[in-house]
Amino acid sequence: MAPMTLSDTTVALTDAEVAAIRSDFPALDARVNGHPLAYLDSGATAQRPLAVLDRERAFLLESNAAVHRGAHTLAGDATEAFEDARHTVAQFIGAGDDEVVWTANATDALNLVAHAFTAANRPGAVPDERLALRPGDEIVVTEAEHHANLIPWQQVAAATGATLRFVPVDDDGVWTMVDAAAVLTPRTRIIAVAHVSNVTGYTAPVAQLVAAAKELGAITVLDACQSAPHRPLDLGALGVDFAAFSSHKMLGPTGIGVLYGRQPLLDALPPFRTGGSMISTVTMESAEFLPAPQRFEAGTQPVSQAVALAEAVRYLDRVGLDRIEAREHELTTRMVDGLTGMPGIRLVGPRVGEQRTGIAAFDVAGVHAHDVGQLLDARGIAVRVGHHCAQPLHRRLGLTATTRASLYLYSTTDEVDRMLDAVSGVRAYFGAR
């Protein structure tokens, strides 16, 4: 596995720049249990800057109306803002406007794609050959997947007779392209993986997977929830067929996610939900559906959320995702080095010097993760504890839960050091041996 590399010309955000960024995030000024908040849980949900909060509020105060439905001026303004948001997000990920579908969240987006394969293969359906699944065909995931990119494919396999296979991970929770190649076969029809693991911070070899998928004629689905907020992402250039990510992990609001799909494939998918806003003609006997992306956006759309997500994208663009990635690399190295130097601490994921993205999940010998989290919280340090919606991965590692610290553009060296100092005293506090 190659060590993480960044462009020689990329300059990480400085401490002064991070301090200025933090002034945009009122939530970070909070005190928790008498201590300044150290928010190290951005992998679960990110805080929102004033620019995003203000933009959504301004839209609701000045332009709130149903989109794609009214002929009045306010409806036109709302529709323009809604579709401009789609354009902004599309540019952010290297996509066309008609390749961006608004969903409720990333889980919803992944379910949309999975449902298409189930619906297309129901008795009586005449599926596009690209969506056809027959008994014996294979869907490949990894042992490290978030449940949102595992359970939908379990359901597809059960409904179609396809076989679900998985790429195994090693004792660190990491897999390689060699491991994947051993699982892929001429029967592989779908390959669905996380770009970055939400537990280990491991970055998948997506370019190699895409190349292998094209040789097999398989469709690729990328869970980009932990990559889109943290690094430049050009999905068109990457060559994946579908990708999903969430707004709330990248400075935007909850209640909205994004599905990217290559336009010819999106148009081949049957609708996920049906109703208003996604049809062209309806009779009492049948309906005709609009092309993508509208065919997947039935009902009342998340309008103010889309507008706010676009503002979050503009905020990230102004800061520079390459500089955010470089800064997180520095802090991740500090965090990993500190944890691996502590007795009784087992850090899962890539080893020191290997590629890891802004996440450190660890086990403290003799102390349950929830107790670790409570002790850190008592000192104002917010981390995630549990299985992080990845039970199979934890089971493979022989763990029921881990404590996870995750970074973002507003994270500081002091916060990392406070977390390390607190963790260093956990075993002694609980009398663990």
d(CA 301, CA 34): 41
Q: Residue 390 phi/psi, 5° resolution?
A: -145, 60
Q: What tokens appear for 173 in the block?
A: 């929770």
With contact defined as beta carbons under 8 Å apart, do 250 and 241 qualify? Answer: no
158 alpha-carbon distance from chain centroid? 25
- Which residue, chain included where needed, has tokens 């961006």? 100
Neighbouring CB atoms inside 10 A of 391's CB total: 14
For residue 235, which phi and psi values (nearest 5 degrees)? -70, -30
Residue 186 burial class via C-beta count within 10 angstroms: exposed 0-12, middle 13-18, buried 19 and up: exposed
**Separation between Cα atoms, residue 90 and residue 234, nearest integer Å:** 10
Q: Is 13 helix (H, G, I), strand (E, B) or coil?
A: coil
Distance CA 78, CA 82 (A): 6
Phi, psi dihedral angles at 241 (to 5 degrees): -85, -40
Q: Give the number of other Cβ atoms within 10 Å of residue 293's Cβ.
A: 23
CB count within 10 Å of CB 215 equals 11
Q: In what order do the strands lie in the sheet with 345-347?
A: 345-347, 359-364, 402-406, 384-386
In angstroms, the Cα distances linking 409 to 40, 133, 424 are 11, 42, 25
Phi, psi angle pair for 354, to nearest 5°? -100, 165
Cβ neighbours around 432 below 10 Å, total: 13
| Distance, C-alpha 411 to centroid of its chain | 19
- Integer Cα distance of 300 and 112 in angstroms: 17
| Identified catalytic residue from 104, 268, 290, 389 | 389
Which residues touch 251 (CB under 8 Å, ≥6 apart)?
46, 47, 48, 49, 52, 229, 312, 315, 316
Structure tokens at 78: 């709302």
Is residue 389 annotated as part of the catalytic site, yes or no? yes
Measured CA to CA, the distance from residue 204 to residue 222 in angstroms comes to 10
User: How far is the CA of 170 from the CAs of 358, 387, 399, 416, in angstroms?
Assistant: 20, 17, 14, 27
Enumerate the active-site residues.
Answer: 389
